[in-house]
């Protein structure tokens, strides 16, 4: 983002000064490499800040999700069974 802003700033300065010669293009490969390494470094720093759950918390969370899936699955199965009979009676299938 800073490169874009500085490029725009340079273009405005040239327009004001009336400079006819264009500025040479900067090499893009090193900038891209710096962006990648900066992204990796920042991501690693953020991962160090994360408060990771303990094994006990992970097991408890997994059990809660499995129980919720079983309850919702049973509810949907029973609801489907009831409505299947209702629809067959109403429509005469």
Contacts of 61 (CB under 8 A, 6+ apart): 53
Helix or strand holding residue 89 (H, E): helix 55-91
Arithmetic mean of pLDDT, 21-27: 58
Check residues 91 and 64 and name the one with the higher pLDDT: 64
Write down the mean pLDDT value for the chain: 83
Check residues 2 and 89 and name the one with the higher pLDDT: 89
pTM: 0.49
Answer whether residue 82 shows pLDDT above 60: yes
Amino acid 10: pLDDT: 75
Amino acid 37: pLDDT: 79
Query: What SS3 state is found at 1?
Result: coil
pLDDT digits (tens, 9 = 90+) for 35-80: 777 888 999 999 999 999 999 999 999 999 999 999 999 999 999 9
Amino acid 20: pLDDT: 53
């Amino acid at each position: 983002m800073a490169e874009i802003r500085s490029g725009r700033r340079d273009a405005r300065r040239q327009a004001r000064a009336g400079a006819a010669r264009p500025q040479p293009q900067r090499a893009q490969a090193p900038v891209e490499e710096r962006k990648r390494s900066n992204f990796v470094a920042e991501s690693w720093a953020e991962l160090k800040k994360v408060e990771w759950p303990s094994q006990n918390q992970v097991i408890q969370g997994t059990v809660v999700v499995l129980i919720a899936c079983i309850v919702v699955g049973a509810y949907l199965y029973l609801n489907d069974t009831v409505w299947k009979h209702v629809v067959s009676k109403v429509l005469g299938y």
